[in-house]
Structure 1
């Protein structure tokens, strides 16, 4: 087994954020020497719930800071600043917040990367805004699609957007470190949590840009249902081609040809009636029985696991030896298993979180001064030359998670080849799907709707498009020639698919010994669920997230258009960057398995650990959280307009009451203290809504933020496209598509001052670059390509 992938790197964690500390936790997982630099009072996150029910320590801090060192530095003092700069001279990377003097850190060590991770950035119209999970979810457009249409929208659970931003920061920092040998120095990079969240939100903004249409809130036009069995909830996604199998699995043969359900369009129109029938059928079944029946028919399905079930009642995780433990002063404590399983350089969590100042007095002078490693750049750094320039990626993916991983790599400068076939195009091209006008320019599918679909065109920028039937011997041979000159292969199909395609790691490493292969199955390559079909909705259920999302009297609820899909894209790209860093240092490739469910579980890690320690599952409470009251969405003026408001302290509450023109409410004994407000949140809805209904949601948010109170409009797709914050970030890039026309596309949030990435090319039409790829990259002759075309191997017309 090789040394840890990032063992050569030293990281300073100067952040006071979930995103920053999770970014640095990932570095520690893969062997980097990470030091958390804290104030003498300790990181604020040490005082953030949930707390261990017996030991009292913060489980959020625990989860974010495994494997790190801790030193205390008084950054307000001259001596503290000198100590900090001494640390910086020994570092490869510093992850910082807005309070850091980034220029001074860069001057102290030009060879290092300085990564700013903040909620809204150091400039722009929202730079002074106050944030939390609900605020960024509201601004992103994600919250708008969560929850029932006749009730308040839901923000989700935990701090998932901030964890996602942590993965984004990790990707960004690794990319800058990867570019360092080429450009001869470090650089400054930056990521905003708010823009990162918007970039991961559903493609509803592009649908709106294409068609001017947006669904009414709560109207979900997807074949997904959640039903209650006698011992829990089961979710399922019914693809068109599996309708017969679905009816067979549920022993409901009469449904198959029922005119309400027999065809896809009618089925969607009558989805509520179908769900009611299915609910009655499975009410007395066990969840395990229902799930087994569906999986036998290859239907995407999952139980809505609770955190306690994930710990002790999920055979699949037990078969995969998922849960681990670390020693602490309280004894061994459980920790979540790895998000990625690396063949050569697996994650190694060396210790629990550090005690405050445990590494004070370390003889810094004996450590290597890395600032001396600066060298002149070997050549001029060209603007727009991304940090992954020169990396070639072969992408076998579909839908959202896999394509988003490839999209991130392409944004960072890699050459990404999107491989499809006429018989199996990417499912987000919507070929043979129920037509929804909102997904096409001007609401028109056109002659080739598979090239005009907003879903596909939202996730495949910068890529080259190749159609190749690798079930054909000549197609397989051509693919293997491409693999021999590629650095990375990524795939998000079910376990074993790459091997069946003739593109498994064992085959590809014979063609190129240092190749990196990342497989992204929903449930991993082993365990009883490994062959289960999955998508974002069922994975969110399986990861334990939905047990925490929903109204108190309702079913577990997914996050709009299924959050684990973009999470999977980020986690997949993070795996590739980690492996590239190891290969850059050693020349060694490897195979990586990333269970998207297990990787998503990290994003609610502290909640899982709390449930395990307390031996009880969370209760669904709508938008309520431990630390704020009120914390909810309230109806504003206008048609289905909402504003998110979060009040953490009694002082904020008093200021809020003044803004509402109801100062007397602040003195009401039911609301005067945090504890009283938390207890009476239901009663609070009426007086707050009486005020919010009178005002525009954007004006309310601006007034609250100006007073230091967290508030945000619950943005629709139209609002997102008109956001002043995103406009200042240049978040929408106009691109010309040969069949969809010119539209504005959401870009990615990674900012580099020396090696900027970019979004410069619209998603490819099916097979658009096939000839160029096979001749210029794979080395086939024009005659050989003509022969493949005649035999249908490279057809660009879907079957």
Structure 2
């Protein structure tokens, strides 16, 4: 079977986890990816954790199915060799700003003048401009600055943060979205594009929801303790008779069902505990009831009970459990990986295209090794799709594409928002009976009459640049109109519970008969054919079920969640990437296809290195707390002021030397025996005490400024509210002010991928309920004003959410198929 991207060649230069992951996603679908390395190899080849054979499991995950080319910058023909490689490729993924990896100096702008069809992606930590530009950084210092550390961990003492396998994956996904959308635009007659990718801003996709909540509610978010998160309770992890159980209770119905399952009538009868925010005020008392009851049964037994009651609870797997998961292996979420004389397992591609699936595992190239290709590259330099750059030069990559958006909440709307930000015409379909639950689920008359469902900033940030229509899909006329819209669309996205659209007559098997070119993606929690397909899930549930909490935290402590809803934005980005690959296939062949995206699988890359190490050596991962498997020192240190912290790391012997001098330990700086991480590990506690004494005498920003002046990686542990006034984000115009009815001016986060110095501008605010009913029904379907008015009288379209009483009356004339998202 011809792989979707087998006609493409990608060149990767520099050393950056984000660049490597972006390029690997191309390799997953058959692209010829050539990784340029110096004679000593990419520094990531030496990144911990290491396999029993001494190979980097992190490098392996980022680079299987690529080839390696050695170019020695000291060779006289190095620049010519590299230039020739780039001029013969389709996409250049450039990580030199993170680490040059001794790459020969080249001017990409000059090369692009000769080859305007070249797509160039440049990766950096913070961008080329702004107060943080040039900062020394690690994954953990970036996450601290991005507001992803301070809210995690115990109530007292330092926040806890995860191993360094997050920002590279998130930024790599953004990079692939930029490059793949540009590839699609080029195939449709456009020129190549040049993008800059900012890893810091990429990470803010995980924080943007809390940033905007802080804009509305003020400074209400503080660290609440391990596995406790604002704004709801419980969202955490509990011990059982055997195993750990992830619990997320959001709605009153879920809370009551959980209390009933545990036999806690005293809690279910307390009407002051129906709301998650109200329960947040009584966490300790509630846990006193939960803890002994949950220990009476195993996590698996509670999970089985939760399935019956539609409660979002899930057992926490250990890495060993993941490695034995036959379903994930069968789906390609866990794949074999070959490294020299070792064979193990790692996370596969999560873009689960059913017609043109990604590769299932592969070989990690030895330094200088060329992989044998089964497909012949079709060079595109003479393709009619290439242009001088005049066609679509000022248009966004997805201009002219149409997306029908049935999604709700966070994950699906983020996927479709990204498509809209890139220029697609996204039509969001809601119903006055069942609007997007991110508008709020309160149906009491006061809430509905005051139109509170129009005043949620969280809905606004996830649905900008879209048009909105309401259709009652449970009635024949509404269903028929939806089909007419889909007949002229390129993409359909939904994150309803499994089978909802099929039961309505909108399943892929039916829709492809009216639109063979249609790409349809289902974004369920566990996958359409999973044994757990009916499990209710939120973004927190996905993190709990991914195995990630088991590698975070202190060795003697419980598993630790790292975000409130980590799985939602990760699912959204993976969904967008999958859609773009499918659209590339449509353009080449005219064939649409179904995408079965399981959001739980999208979380698995974050534990991939630990999976590989354990699959080969059989040893469970070590939990390091705030320390690190490679960098010494590495930790979160108290600064002057209340609950003020900074993350500091020394990534090599030179950085350690500068740090030792800065904190006044010139004796350590002069001690050659401390040049190695292993030697410093022996006195790690003493080093940490010295750093802690130094930081405690300074406020966090002053400490960061002094450390960065010495080129030591450091990042203040910010709260989400701090990001609204972050000097670097302000200097880069990351937050854009948008005016919207019912809300007024409010901040909107920009995409972290940019063409030129400014962010992509936001074209329109999120639609009010049914705002574009007339526009869409008249322009796209050709209905008359009288026909549209009749639909409104019948309640098939509308602009006002129904109250509980009105909904009950409406349901009397509709089917019993409840429309609700998985997440």
**The two structures share one fold, judged by TM-score above 0.5:** yes
Bigger shift: residues 91-100 or 561-570: 91-100
- 1:344 Cα deviation from its structure 2 partner: 1.3
User: In the alignment, which residue of structure 1 is the partner of 2:808?
Assistant: none
Matched positions, count: 784
2:256 to 241, 244, 249: 244
Q: Which residue of 1 aligns with 2:499?
A: 496
The C-alpha deviation readout for 1:482-513, integer Å capped at 9, x for no partner, is: 11111101112332222123221111111211
Q: Deviations over 1:548-591 (max 9, x none)?
A: 12234432222232222111111000001111111111111100
Quickly say closer, same or farther: Cα 1:496–1:244, change in 2 above 3 A.
same
Matched, 1:170 2:176: yes
2:799 aligned with 1:787: no
Structure 1 residues 4-15: aligned runs within 5 Å: 4-15=3-14
**Structure 1 residue 716: Cα displacement:** 2.0
Distance 1:376 1:529 in 2: 48
Aligned to 2:34: 35
Cα 1:707–1:741 shift into 2, 3 Å: same
Aligned CA distance change for structure 1 residues 674 and 12 (closer, same or farther; 3 Å): closer
Is structure 2 residue 396 aligned with structure 1 residue 386? yes
Where in structure 2 are the equivalents of 1:180-191 lying within 5 Å? Answer: 180-182=186-188, 184-191=190-197
The CA deviation at 1:739 is 0.8
Counterpart CA distance in 2 for 1:771 and 1:737 is 19
Shift of 1:422: 2.4
Whether contact under 8 Å (2:663, 2:690) holds in the other structure is no
Pairwise CA distance, 1:766: 2.0
**CA 1:503–1:735 in structure 2 vs 1: closer, same or farther (change >3 Å)?**
same
Report how far residue 352 of structure 1 moved. Answer: 0.3
Give 1:657 deviation, angstroms.
Answer: 3.3
Partner of 1:144: helix, strand, or coil? coil
Matching residue of 1:225: 236
Give, in whole Å, the separation in 1 of the partners of 2:654 and 2:332: 48
Deviation of 1:93 (Å): 0.7
Within 1, Cα distance between the matches of 2:567 and 2:498? 18
Deviation, structure 1 residue 662: 4.6
User: How far, CA to CA, are the matches of 1:367 and 1:509 in structure 2?
Assistant: 29
One of 423, 438, 446 as aligned partner of 1:428: 438
Report if the CA contact (8 A) 1:46-1:57 is conserved: yes
Show CA shifts across 1:597-619 (max 9, x none): 11220233112211222323224
The Cα offsets for residues 157-208 of structure 1, whole Å up to 9 and x where unpaired, read as 3311111111110000011111114454212111111111123324222223
Partner of 1:73: 71
* Corresponding residue of 2:409: 399
CA–CA distance in 2 between the matches of 1:682 and 1:470?
62
Q: Once the two structures are superposed, what CA deviation does each residue of 1:652-672 show, in whole Å capped at 9, x if it has no partner?
A: 334223323454566799988
Answer yes or no: is the 8 Å Cα contact 2:24–2:66 preserved in 1: yes
Q: Which runs of 5+ in 2 are unaligned?
A: 101-105, 804-823
What's the CA shift for 1:676? 4.7
5 Å matches for 1:315-326?
A: 316-317=327-328, 320=331, 322-326=333-337
Deviates more, 1:707-716 or 1:332-341: 332-341
Q: Is the 8 A contact 2:517 2:591 kept in 1?
A: yes
Distance 1:231 1:433, change over 3 A: farther
Which residue of 286, 290, 303 maps to 2:298?
A: 286
Question: Is 1:797 matched with 2:808?
Answer: no
Partner of 1:111: 117
Query: What CA distance in whole angstroms lies between the structure 1 residues aligned with 2:717 and 2:448?
Result: 30
TM superposition shift of 1:785: 2.0
Alignment partner of 1:90 is 2:64:
no
> What is the TM-score when the length of structure 2 is the normalising length?
0.90
Give the RMSD, CA atoms, in angstroms.
2.9
CA contact (8 A) 1:235 1:538 kept: yes
TM-score, normalising length from structure 1?
Answer: 0.92
The separation in 1 between residues aligned to 2:218 and 2:337, in whole angstroms, is 52
TM-superposed CA distance for 1:525, in Å, is 1.1
SS at 2:603's partner residue? helix
Q: Indicate which of 261, 278, 281 corresponds to 1:269.
A: 281
For 1:296, the equivalent position in structure 2 comes to 308
**Partners in 1 of 2:64 and 2:499 — Cα distance?**
33
When residues 767 and 276 of structure 1 are mapped into structure 2, their CA distance, relative to the original with a 3 A threshold, is farther
- Of the structure 1 ranges 184-193 and 374-383, higher mean CA displacement relative to structure 2 is found in 374-383
Between 113-122 and 205-214, the greater mean CA deviation after superposition: 205-214
**Structure 2 partner of 1:143:** 149
CA distance in 2, matches of 1:322, 1:215: 35
The CA deviation string for residues 131-151 of structure 1, in whole angstroms up to 9 with x for no partner, is 111111011112222223322
TM superposition shift of 1:688: 2.4
